Homo-oligomer: A and B are copies of this chain.
Amino acid sequence: MAGNTFGRVFAVTSFGESHGPAIGCVVDGCPPGLALSIEDIQKDLDRRKPGTSRHVTQRQESDTVEILSGVFEGKTTGTPIGLLIWNEDARSRDYGNLIDTFRPGHADYTYWQKYGIRDHRGGGRASARETAVRVAAGAIARKWLREKHGVVIHGYLSQLGSHELPFRDWESVGQNQFFSADPDVVPKLELFMDELRKAGDSVGARITTVAEQVPVGWGTPVYAKLDSDLAAAMMSINAVKAVEIGSGFASVVQRGSQHGDELTPEGFMTNHAGGILGGISTGQDVVVTIGIKPTSSIRIPRRSIDKQGKPVMVETNGRHDPCVGIRATPIAEAMMALVLMDHALLHRAQNADVMTNTPKIAGSVKRSSD
Contact = CB atoms under 8 A, between A and B. Distances in A.
Interface stretch (A44-52, A54-62, A63-71, A182-190): A63-71
22 contacts: A2-B29, A2-B224, A8-B9, A14-B223, A78-B351, A79-B221, A104-B260, A105-B272, A107-B280, A114-B217, A116-B351, A116-B354, A126-B221, A227-B235, A231-B235, A248-B291, A260-B294, A262-B302, A264-B303, A272-B293, A346-B349, A348-B348
Contacts of A168: none
**Interface size bucket, A side?**
35 or more
A114 B80 contact: no
Interface string A326-366: 00000000000000000001111111111111111100000
A239 to B, nearest CB: 8
A100 B260 CA distance: 18
A228 interface: yes
Contact of A235 (B113, B204, B220, B243): B243
Number of copies: 4
A282 interface: yes
A26 interface: yes
Interface string A180-207: 0000000000000000000001111110
B263 A31 contact: no
Nearest to A10: B2
A15 to B, nearest CB: 4
A159 B201 CA distance: 33
Interface string A266-308: 0001001110111111110000000111111110101111011
Scoring A4, A203, A206, A303 by chain B CB atoms within 10 A of each residue's CB, the highest score goes to A4
